[in-house]
Amino acid sequence: MVRDPFAEDDTPELQDILDALDDPDCRSIVRILDEPMTADEIAEAADVPLSTTYRKLDLLTEASLLEEGTEIRPDGQHASRYSVAFEEVIIGIADTREFEVDISRRPRTADERLANLWSEVQKET
């Protein structure tokens, strides 16, 4: 599923967020992501097998807890880099007694917005 890079409200389903946050490997990945990293770097730093790392990255990305960007390399072998996409996750209960989720994000720089747009364009081609 490709998310609209211009969408203001891209809050995923509550269950997707809960599934990602309930997973110990996912939490470990979020903990080690001080800066954008490739899947190989994440697997090594989190001590998680690479095949498992890819599944966890998909889970976290679908839950909008990670962002996938593209590192442009001169040799043409571009690499995906992942970074944390939130500052806090707030789960509450509405007046209707249904659970709500809100993801607080830091403002993105122009460079980050451009990189995200480029990433989305590449996914479409």
d(CA 118, CA 125): 11
Residue 96 near residue 9, CB atoms below 8 Å:
no
| Six token digits for residue 61 | 């990305």
Q: How confident is the model at residue 3 (pLDDT cuts 50, 70, 90)?
A: very low
- Its pTM stands at 0.73
CA dist 60 and 39 (Å) reads 13
Q: What one-letter code names the amino acid at 20?
A: A
pLDDT value at residue 47:
95
Concatenating the DSSP letter of every residue in 73-102 gives -TTS--EEEEEE--SEEEEEE-TTS-EEEE
- Phi/psi for 41 (5° steps) reads -65, -40
Spatial separation of the C-alpha atoms in residues 91 and 103, rounded to whole Å: 9
Given a cut of 80, is residue 116 above it in pLDDT? no
The number of CA neighbours under 13 Å toward the Cβ of 24 is 2
Question: Per-residue pLDDT tens for 86-111?
Answer: 999 989 999 999 999 888 877 767 77
Q: Give the residue, 77 or 86, on which the prediction is more confident.
A: 86
pLDDT, mean over the chain = 85
